[in-house]
Homo-oligomer: A and B are copies of this chain.
Amino acid sequence: MELPALISTLRTALESDTVHLLRERLDDVHPADLASALVEFAAQDLWTLLTVLPRAEQAEVFGYLPAEEQVNLSINISRRKLAPIIRQMSSDERADLFNRLSDEQRETLLPALAQAEREDLLRLTSHEEGTAGAIMTSDYAILAAELTVAQALDSLRREAPDKETIYSAYVVDAARKLIGVVSLRDLILAPLHMPIEELINHDPIYASVDMPQEEVASLIAKYDLLALPIVNSEHQMVGIVTYDDAMDVAAAEATEDFHKTATIGKLETSVKQAGIGLLYRKRVFWLVILVFGNIFSGAGIAHFEGIIASHIALLFFLPLLIGSSGNAGAQSGTLMVRALATGEIKLRDWGYLLGKECLVAGLLGLTMASAVVGLGWWRGGYDIAVVVSLTMMLVVLAGSLIGLSLPFLLSRFKLDPATASGPLITSIADVAGVVLYFSIATWYLGL
């Protein structure tokens, strides 16, 4: 069912008081689609519609609701009604929700959970935001190393309903240290009486709880994993991160980096839902900082007022020259920022890439110089043509090398290279452009 049709089915059911008939009709609708439709309704109606579903599916649909909507329901629906859903949620989604609630709201919901769930929740929410610990789930399947394949399959069958995945099962020792991983595929293929010992991969890829979440997502992508086991500092297994969460993390990190390339701070919500105040705050900081950066370009121009006044034709080429410098810098900067983010290049590659950039930017500068030499001649004669084309070569080179090096410099000082945004590089390249242009003009044209 398409989204508009689904919404109107739900609305009709509410209006004609036939909500109880929905259960069967919604049987084949994907929980993600149902969640997309439900956000169109107010809290009470949303709740009425949600509770038509079987309990397990209620929790699943609830997990697909946007974070703000989950919090909203948590505030508007009584604890007694909400608790059964919260209990059914997967442990990582439950922890996410709790992280977004106020202390007071948490205090209200915690007593509704069983002791074990409460402890699990407090453990999961204790990890720092942005780390493996903060996105992992504790609903993973454990197998004892001594089992046969038949016993392991039985065990997974029993545990499956509560686990995030049973396609990867983990083998731990008595101290809960991670020993290895077994895939359901291997279990299915093996003879029933075989000890699973023979199927265990004893050298599994794993990550520690404090690994940054973007590195977790990279590991999962690099090794094509369904799930990545997470261990604490004692190598004890504490959770897994599944591929679907890794996809969400990768997309969120890419969005954050995109925004950074244009000097926008991290938005915790979508641009559609973000309020005026939030958008203002996330944008104003760098805009103001860059104004003060641009003052240097202004001061550069003011410094050269003499040569400008005597050769006013030079002004015609100013936007073109500093623009080209900034554009070339934005290109090389963006290439580096993205390649550093994906791990394609490392800090140590700077020298090699700088050498290559000198050649590429040299060629670009030559091309750009030939593109403007005629224009220079036409607007200002031979002398201006020389100054403009010589400047173009140098500013494209300077802009490119600034753009290339800034992300490395930031990385070197443990700052996020993505802060080397287009606008920041452009501002720096502008200053270099102004100074180069008018210095060359002063030198060549004399005063």
A contact residues vs B (CB 8 Å cutoff): 28-30, 32, 153, 156-157, 160-161, 166-167, 184-185, 188-189, 201-203, 205, 220-224, 226, 243-244, 246-248, 250-251, 254-255, 257-259, 261-264, 270-272, 276, 279-280, 283-284, 286-288, 290-291, 293-295, 297-299, 301-302, 305, 308-309, 312-313, 315-320, 322-324, 326-328, 330-331, 333-339, 342, 344-345, 349, 352-353, 356, 359-360, 363-364, 367-368, 371-372, 375, 379, 396, 422-423, 426-427, 430, 434
Partner of A422, one of B167, B286, B305, B330: B330
When the two chains form their complex, are residues B315 and A301 in contact, meaning their CB atoms are under 8 A apart? Answer: yes
Q: How far is the CB of A311 from chain B (nearest CB, A)?
A: 12
Cα–Cα distance between A377 and B290 once the two chains are bound (Å): 20
- A-B contacts, 26 of them at CB < 8 A, read A32-B222, A157-B189, A184-B188, A221-B248, A224-B244, A226-B226, A243-B247, A255-B338, A257-B258, A258-B261, A259-B338, A262-B327, A264-B335, A270-B339, A271-B335, A272-B352, A276-B360, A280-B360, A287-B327, A287-B368, A290-B324, A291-B372, A298-B316, A302-B313, A318-B318, A422-B423
Q: In whole Å, how far is A91's beta carbon from the nearest beta carbon of chain B? A: 16
A416 to chain B, nearest CB (A): 15
Cα separation A63 to B396 with both chains bound (whole Å):
40
Known: A328-B287, A360-B283. A344 touches B161 (CB 8 A): no
Chain B residue contacts of A375, Cβ below 8 A? 295
CA–CA, A352 and B272, complex, Å: 9
Residues of the B chain whose Cβ atoms lie less than 8 Å from the Cβ of A280: 360, 363-364
Closest 10 CB pairs of A and B: A297-B319, A262-B334, A28-B203, A294-B320, A224-B244, A422-B422, A298-B316, A254-B254, A327-B423, A294-B323
| Chain B residue, CB-CB nearest to A313 | B302
Chain B positions within 8 Å of A322 at CB level: 319
With A320-B294, A368-B291, A423-B326 already in contact, the answer to whether A353 and B264 are too (CB < 8 A) is no
Q: Judge whether B367 and A288 touch: CB under 8 Å.
A: yes
What is the distance, in angstroms, from A426's C-beta to the closest C-beta of chain B? 7
Q: How far is the CA of A434 from the CA of B319 in the complex (A)?
A: 10
Q: Which residues of B contact A359 (CB under 8 A)?
A: 276
Closest to A302 in B: B316
In addition to A258-B334, A287-B331, A288-B367, 9 A-B residue pairs with Cβ atoms within 8 Å of each other are A157-B188, A166-B188, A221-B247, A258-B338, A279-B360, A291-B324, A291-B372, A295-B375, A330-B422
Q: Min CB distance, A64 to chain B, in Å?
A: 9
- B272 adjacent to A353 (CB under 8 Å): yes
Nearest chain B CB to A118 CB, angstrom units: 27
Residues on B with C-beta less than 8 A from A262 are 261, 327, 330-331, 333-335, 422
Contact A291 B371 (CB under 8 A): yes
Complex Cα distance A434/B203, Å? 63
Per the bound structure, the CA–CA distance linking A290 and B364 in Å amounts to: 13
Chain B nearest Cβ from A95, distance in angstroms: 18
Are the CB atoms of B221 and A344 closer together than 8 Å?
A: no
In the bound complex, what is the Cα–Cα distance between A223 and B318 (angstroms)? 51
Chain B nearest Cβ from A231, distance in angstroms? 17
A342 pairs with B189, CB closer than 8 A: no
Given the contacts A330-B423, A356-B276, A261 and B259 also touching, CB distance less than 8 Å: no
* CA–CA, A251 and B248, complex, Å: 12
Residue numbers in B under 8 Å from A423 (CB-CB): 323, 326-327, 330, 422
